[in-house]
Structures are given as structure tokens and as C-alpha cells.
Homo-oligomer: A and B are copies of this chain.
């Protein structure tokens, strides 16, 4: 079940996309809107292939090429963000109406947690001025071990210690 609030939000995002397509003299194809909608129905970080498969599952007739193509468009008009969390496969997330945030990634279970810190903005401004860059965006990822995986590792360590003792 999709909430009314979400429906309105998606409608708003579609309007923004429409305006962008018009301004750039690009065509308003059904595929482009289907892809946008599918992204805004999700709440997680996703990969191009996951999105493509989900669309097939829902019996939409779109091709990988169109998915990649549309992702690029959506990045251009700032409706989604693309991330490279160390893997080769890029991850994407919707970005309209969401607070700017950064990510902490668990190197064990790959869980992604979001966080905000105002100091990032300060650093951006300061470094842009200092190095004479017009900074448009940034990507800050912290990597480490989440609480759950820390416990797992400790349990594992105890187990290994016991095994070694028996040897």
C-alpha cells in the first residue's frame, strides 16, 4: 500500500523531471517516468541491475540501456545521487527532499548508515576558497565495523582461542 503522502511526493518529483526534460528539449517517454517512479518507491540504496530486475519483475518492458541512460539524466537534474562505496558496482539513491548526508559503511556486512555533520559544509567552503575550486558536490564515506559485526568478531575470536587451546 502506498501512502497519499508518498504519492504526492512522487508527483512532485515527476513535475521537476518534466520541467527538466522540457528545458533540455528531451522527450517525455513513459520509460523515463516508470524508472523515476520505481526509484522513488524504494527507500534504500540500489544498484542499476537491481532496478532493472525489479522493473522486469513488474512486467515493464525496459532495457538495461534505458535504465543506465535514465539514471544519468536523473543525476544531471539532481533527483538521484550516485555512489561508489569501494566496489566496482555503483550504488544510487533518490535525493529530492532528503537532507544532504554522508555514509558510514560496515566493511563486514556492507550495511550503510547515513549521518550529517555541518563541519563538512565548512570544509567545502574553506577548501574551495583556498584552492580556487568551485565545488559542486562531495562524497564522504567512513568505513568500519558496525556494532553487530563487532560482536560477531569477538565471538569468533573466543571460538578460535578455544580451538587453539585444544590443539
Which residues of the other chain, B, contact A14 by a CB distance below 8 angstroms? none
Judge if A161 is at the interface, Cβ distance under 8 Å. no
CB distance A143 to B135 under 8 Å?
Answer: yes
Checking B86, B115, B147 against A84 with a beta-carbon cut-off of 8 angstroms, the contacting residue is: B86
Interface residues as binary, A91-127 with B (CB distance below 8 Å gives 1, 0 otherwise): 0000000000000101100000101010110111011
Judge if A24 is at the interface, Cβ distance under 8 Å. no
Checking B107, B122, B143 against A119 with a beta-carbon cut-off of 8 angstroms, the contacting residue is: B122
Shortest CB-to-CB span from A47 to chain B, Å, is: 13
Checking B130, B132, B144 against A133 with a beta-carbon cut-off of 8 angstroms, the contacting residue is: B144
Q: How many copies does the complex hold?
A: 2
Q: Which residue of B lies closest to A104 (CB)?
A: B133
Checking B82, B88, B133, B138 against A106 with a beta-carbon cut-off of 8 angstroms, the contacting residue is: B133
CB distance B147 to A143 under 8 Å?
Answer: no
CB distance B132 to A142 under 8 Å?
Answer: no
Judge if A76 is at the interface, Cβ distance under 8 Å. no
Judge if A136 is at the interface, Cβ distance under 8 Å. yes
Checking B106, B113, B124, B147 against A142 with a beta-carbon cut-off of 8 angstroms, the contacting residue is: B124
16 residue pairs of the A-B complex, CB under 8 angstroms, read A84-B86, A86-B139, A104-B131, A104-B133, A106-B133, A117-B126, A117-B127, A131-B146, A132-B147, A133-B145, A133-B146, A134-B144, A136-B144, A139-B140, A139-B143, A140-B141
- Chain A residues within 8 Å of B, Cβ to Cβ: 82, 84, 86, 88, 90, 104, 106-107, 113, 115, 117, 119-120, 122-124, 126-128, 130-147, 150
